[in-house]
Structure 1
Amino acid sequence: MPFRKLTIAVATLILPVAVSLGCMRTATPGPVNAPDPTVRPSAPTEPGKALQPKPSTNSAKLHPEAPSNSPTPLPAPVVTVPPMLEGGTVVEGGLADAVTLNPVLADDHTSLAVTELLFDGLLAVDPQTAALRPGLASSWRISADGLTITFILRDDVLWHDGQPFSAADVEFTFKAILNPAVGSPRQADFSLVEEFKAVDDTTFAVTLADADCSILHDLGSVRIVPRHILGDDDIQASPFNANPVGTGPFVLGEWVVGDHITLLRNPRYWGKAPHLDTWTYKVVANEEALLAGLETGQLDVIPLSLDDLASIEAAGRFQIHRYPANEYYFVGYNVDHPILGDGRVRQALSQAIDRQRLVDRILGGQGQLLDTGLLPAHWAYPQELVSYPFDPARAAQLLAEAGWVDNDGDGIRDRDGEPLRLRLGTNGENPTREAIAILVQQYYLAVGVAVEVELIKWGNFLEDIFTHDFDMVVFSWPLALDPDEWELWHSSESVLDSGFNFVSYHDPRVDELLLQGLRAPKCEEARRAAIYGEIATILAKDRPFAFLFAPYNLIAVNERVGGVAPSPFADLHWNLANWYVTR
């Protein structure tokens, strides 16, 4: 019962998640003013280090201060409503070019963002709730045993070249993904599939070896490619990869590698026709060029770093959009540890952390507090979930109940002559995690827990995590669209050297519920929401993680552009067809 997103993306999950066009950045942490922690060197460095945020010029010191229990509100974007014009061009800036425009092969952020404008999937994601909605499939049904998923396709869709779309294209796309010779990064998503079949022109059926409701998101998100063009091609070497033909709201105008990609309005689009005539993605050299392009009007939309937020806001000429990035941070506790195996200790350590202060000091307030691995707007979020606030007095009480008191007056709690000392590790190449670790160290010391922070090289850090050789870690995972978290919490996944349940969490009821969530009859949302709500309630009590926050992505938009409404579930460009210009 795989939680495939973790298996596929293990390398990128450990980074501050970049989104949309390979250049989006989460808010950048400020400097840490604290005694130097222990640094344990080793050889390999973290892959993709170039995507790490640059050090902030914010001079705020990081240290525990007065309690701040109020949740971080998500500021409403500044929206202007001037007269809307039909036509026009929007130019968006970014730092990385696409690698391919074939969605079967796309695996980098820019390629994925552009192909999602050129191609459609069977299903779409509701930008407000993450629920699945019709796309190329007008409806779908799931058999009583959960082993067959049938999609009924639209009959009014044309490819950009005017050829009709059919179930044969869908079957071809998924079989290409499963073909090892193609090398699609999506292949592992469909390990449970026994058959993909075009039943007729408008019916596509998927047969599974085992019921798995989470696969619906995987099936729905695949962008479909045309069989009549790629059917006889070597997909890896096909000219199609640079000159694609899709069904999406935009068609390719030109791709000048290393410089820009221009998309044109699709006059044959089956859905809502775009207002814009063209959308151009412009590759620039660095963040300074992004800012200069925005200031001069050469760029209409750019990703914004925290360092530049204040100056862009002060200019008063740009819209600022904030929305949670696809990543949440947490402190993970090794449940097999002789001290951390006590749930009272884990609860105490969780409530000793002022999470709002972390967001304020590290992210300049640009983040959202979380109590589970879902955003509050998600359809499966448990609305009655109890949030445990920052409460150092309660933390001290729980530690005392667990037998940890300061018997010798040295400021560190002890029990049976043993001081309460723990290690807190993270990868030193990640500024956000490093800043969290040093602040958390100080919060723990304030309640009598001595913590040694270890900033570990990437290779050693992974080894420590997957061999369970740690006390506590600062880490991050993606905010998945489907609520299944089998790999994180099922006891069968607490396997040395491979399992993602590296905190060694075991709970028979959670194991049972995870299976029920995957096998819910017809994958009915209300039933699944109740199941995952119960899981979240158990985790909130057991505290294998201290959930912290999701940083915001920051977007600056020229005031002449309207309709921009980024979604934490559907990203920035989900409604590009609704974007417009006023001059």
Structure 2
Amino acid sequence: MRAKRHDWQGAILLAIIAALLLAGCQRGGSRSTPESSPSPGEASGAQPVTGQAAAPATPAVSAPAPQPGQRVSIVEAGLDEPRTLNPLFVADPVSEELSRLVFDSLVTVDPATGEVAPALAESWDVSDDGTRYTFRLRDGVRWHDGQPFTARDVEFTYRTMLDVNARSPRYSRLAERVKSVSVVDPQTVVIELIKPDASFLPTLATLGIVPEHVLAGVQPEQLITDPFGLSSAVGTGPFMLKQWVRGEQIVFERNPQYYRGVPQAAQYTYKVVGSLDELVAGLQDGLIDWAVIDAAQAGAAPAIDGVTVQSLPGFELVMVVLQLDSSKSELFIDPRVRQALLLALDRQAMVDQIWHGQAEVARGTQPPASWAAGPASIEYSYDPQQAARLLDEAGWQIGPDGVRRREGQRLSFRLVATGADPTRRALATWLQRQWAEIGVEVQLELEQWSDVRRRATETRDFEALLLGVRWDLDPDQSIVWSSDSIFDGLNMGHYTNAELDGLLAQAVATTNREERLAHYRQAQEIVLRDLPVLPLCFPKLTVLWSDRIEAPPLTATALRLRYGVEQWRLRL
């Protein structure tokens, strides 16, 4: 197990948490309040900021010319505003997704298969020992300002993220995996890993590449406050940043030089709205074309002519993390107590009542959108009688006030949750009622997300913690379950299992999908047996989609990566 992390590592970890942990509904009932931590290149007020336009170029593939008076922009809306578009610093879902409009990566992931597919790298080779990746870059790719894209840009991007002074949220994960990045020639770059890691391509080779010629003159420690990513953005992606009016909208123009062909839509706009009502009104008026909303809020959205509700298998897991560090709490050390808590929950009723059917009961840990998702042999169906028997066996007997006791101690604990989110608040109250029925007392501590995050990642001061995690595209879940992740990851409850550690290590040591799947199925069985967390449900990715847009089939992966966005178009 690793020693405790240094303070600077902890600061970087907080940024990682923002990308993986979900406070609650990211796009639900009302606009979220930004955290107090500094945002990269923060611009205040509602003054428009104009991005750099690319030099005119002859498109490789023609796009239809708009008719006079015809709307030319696809309009997405959301309750959250990105902090930055700079791939070096994106650390929340909205920033990550919109950044992909402007910045491409070495590889991408094909939503249809889950397999890695070419992007800026047209091909790659992997050494026999699985540690050396040689990427051959596409010829003729240019930055939005007309400069050629080369291997030096790739080297600069990864070396910058590996520079601790840059404070990139990618630092820890890259530093643990990447040994070196080197240029062979203008079209070839080599990334050498410390050890084989099958998750490298879908998680770390999908990071956006930034231009060396624009950012090389900025000191690493100043990059996080540089306006690049806000008032300017030069990428190789399908769209170019045109204008960002803080608190209102971001406008992108199509890249006429895009290597996959000129985008079908002349513009792409992200509109920031203040409430679900405002979003619905925009869809009804034809001013908004699509949006992702909180699955639990789907029932509050009225039927709109020409707008469909698409419920897609997603990557989020809502769970209760239990404190297994005996120096902080001994309530959950006995696995029978953990099993009883899960058996006492009618999770299907929870999905029906709180998510209105827009979620799946979590019968495993791999999300439905993952290629590794599958059934587990261990099942925790609702059985309050069995839950009571397990608590009796563990020595917890019903007291005169209805709360169980053992050796004078009450079976009572504090459940920490984000109070500002209505779904989390409702869920916490529901859990409290369900557990009361088997004699377990729960005290709710509803706090601001910043305080919940601090408990989860810094102090680890909690008994039980209600939150969501958005898993990576790759099924490696070491960041939550591995004992190495107690100090440098999201193993918040201090869970350790040597057998599980070994399986997780074996799973990333091979690129054979069948072998990886077998390891992850075994790992899932161990987690479900041990129950370091109580898996509750997988909310659907809920999309309101206007029939004005033509696009390839939607999936959680496609939307997360904005895969094929250059093919989206407005119907004439």
TM over 0.5: yes
Distance 1:48 1:423 in 2: 26
Distance 1:416 1:100 in 2: 54
Q: Secondary structure at the match of 2:540?
A: strand
Aligned to 1:61: none
Deviation digits for residues 403-424 of structure 1 (CA, Å, limit 9, x no counterpart): 4454x77644455676544443
Q: Secondary structure at the match of 1:245?
A: coil
In the alignment, does 2:541 pair up with 1:549? no
* Residue pairs, 1:218-257, within 5 angstroms: 218-232=203-217, 237=226, 242-255=231-244
Distance 2:453 2:228 in 1: 39
> Which among 396, 409, 413 is matched to residue 388 of structure 2?
396
Measured on the aligned residues, the alpha-carbon RMSD in Å equals 3.8
What's the TM-score, normalizing by structure 1? 0.77
More divergent stretch after superposition (203-212 vs 227-236): 227-236
In the alignment, does 2:137 pair up with 1:153? yes
Aligned to 2:269: 280
Asked if the contact 1:97–1:283 (Cα under 8 Å) also holds between the matched residues in 2, the reply is yes
Asked if the contact 1:262–1:280 (Cα under 8 Å) also holds between the matched residues in 2, the reply is yes
Aligned to 1:40: none
Distance 1:231 1:549 in 2: 45
Shift of 1:213: 3.6
Q: Secondary structure at the match of 1:261?
A: strand
> Which among 362, 376, 399 is matched to residue 368 of structure 2?
376
* Residue pairs, 1:117-156, within 5 angstroms: 117-128=101-112, 130-156=114-140
Asked if the contact 1:15–1:430 (Cα under 8 Å) also holds between the matched residues in 2, the reply is no
Q: 1:242 and 1:421, CA in 2 relative to 1: closer, same or farther beyond 3 A?
A: closer
Aligned to 2:56: none
Asked if the contact 1:86–1:276 (Cα under 8 Å) also holds between the matched residues in 2, the reply is no
Q: 1:505 and 1:108, CA in 2 relative to 1: closer, same or farther beyond 3 A?
A: closer
> Which among 173, 183, 192 is matched to residue 207 of structure 1?
192
> Which among 170, 184, 187 is matched to residue 186 of structure 1?
170
In the alignment, does 2:32 pair up with 1:9? no
Aligned to 2:310: 321
AA of the residue aligned to 1:577: E
Shift of 1:536: 0.7
Q: 1:532 and 1:48, CA in 2 relative to 1: closer, same or farther beyond 3 A?
A: farther
* Residue pairs, 1:354-503, within 5 angstroms: 354-406=346-398, 411-415=402-406, 420-455=411-446, 469-494=461-486, 500-503=490-493
What's the TM-score, normalizing by structure 2? 0.78
Deviation digits for residues 447-483 of structure 1 (CA, Å, limit 9, x no counterpart): 2333333445667656665655544332332222233
Q: 1:151 and 1:12, CA in 2 relative to 1: closer, same or farther beyond 3 A?
A: closer
Shift of 1:324: 5.3
Asked if the contact 2:316–2:367 (Cα under 8 Å) also holds between the matched residues in 1, the reply is no
Q: Secondary structure at the match of 1:438?
A: helix
> Which among 5, 25, 28 is matched to residue 27 of structure 2?
25
Shift of 1:541: 1.1
Asked if the contact 2:314–2:368 (Cα under 8 Å) also holds between the matched residues in 1, the reply is no
- Percent identity between matched residues is 35
Asked if the contact 1:26–1:553 (Cα under 8 Å) also holds between the matched residues in 2, the reply is no
Asked if the contact 1:126–1:132 (Cα under 8 Å) also holds between the matched residues in 2, the reply is yes
AA of the residue aligned to 2:360: Q
Distance 1:460 1:278 in 2: 39
Shift of 1:446: 1.9
Asked if the contact 1:194–1:209 (Cα under 8 Å) also holds between the matched residues in 2, the reply is yes
Asked if the contact 1:334–1:340 (Cα under 8 Å) also holds between the matched residues in 2, the reply is yes
Q: 1:118 and 1:11, CA in 2 relative to 1: closer, same or farther beyond 3 A?
A: closer
Bigger RCO (CA 8 Å, 6+ sep): 1
More divergent stretch after superposition (456-465 vs 502-511): 456-465
Q: Secondary structure at the match of 1:373?
A: coil
Q: Secondary structure at the match of 1:398?
A: helix
Q: Secondary structure at the match of 1:434?
A: helix
Asked if the contact 2:76–2:290 (Cα under 8 Å) also holds between the matched residues in 1, the reply is yes
In the alignment, does 2:181 pair up with 1:174? no
Q: 1:121 and 1:402, CA in 2 relative to 1: closer, same or farther beyond 3 A?
A: same
Q: 1:134 and 1:362, CA in 2 relative to 1: closer, same or farther beyond 3 A?
A: same
Q: 1:181 and 1:544, CA in 2 relative to 1: closer, same or farther beyond 3 A?
A: closer
Aligned to 2:504: 514
Q: Secondary structure at the match of 2:520?
A: helix
Distance 1:538 1:548 in 2: 17
Unaligned runs of 5+ in 2: 38-62, 67-71
Asked if the contact 1:101–1:242 (Cα under 8 Å) also holds between the matched residues in 2, the reply is no
Distance 2:420 2:503 in 1: 37
Distance 2:533 2:347 in 1: 13
Distance 1:505 1:179 in 2: 30
Aligned to 1:196: 181
In the alignment, does 2:250 pair up with 1:261? yes
Asked if the contact 1:330–1:548 (Cα under 8 Å) also holds between the matched residues in 2, the reply is yes
Asked if the contact 2:485–2:491 (Cα under 8 Å) also holds between the matched residues in 1, the reply is yes
Q: 1:411 and 1:552, CA in 2 relative to 1: closer, same or farther beyond 3 A?
A: same
Shift of 1:151: 1.9
Shift of 1:381: 2.6
Distance 2:447 2:81 in 1: 31
In the alignment, does 2:342 pair up with 1:350? yes
Aligned to 2:287: 298
Shift of 1:493: 4.2
Q: 1:421 and 1:173, CA in 2 relative to 1: closer, same or farther beyond 3 A?
A: closer
Distance 1:307 1:384 in 2: 26
Q: 1:397 and 1:102, CA in 2 relative to 1: closer, same or farther beyond 3 A?
A: closer
Q: 1:533 and 1:355, CA in 2 relative to 1: closer, same or farther beyond 3 A?
A: same
Q: Secondary structure at the match of 1:491?
A: coil
AA of the residue aligned to 1:132: V
Shift of 1:152: 2.6
Shift of 1:524: 3.0
Q: 1:113 and 1:307, CA in 2 relative to 1: closer, same or farther beyond 3 A?
A: closer
> Which among 97, 110, 116 is matched to residue 100 of structure 2?
116
Deviation digits for residues 22-46 of structure 1 (CA, Å, limit 9, x no counterpart): xx51479xxxxxxxxxxxxxxxx99
Asked if the contact 1:304–1:554 (Cα under 8 Å) also holds between the matched residues in 2, the reply is yes
Deviation digits for residues 340-379 of structure 1 (CA, Å, limit 9, x no counterpart): 2222221121111111222222223322322343213412
Q: Secondary structure at the match of 1:569?
A: helix
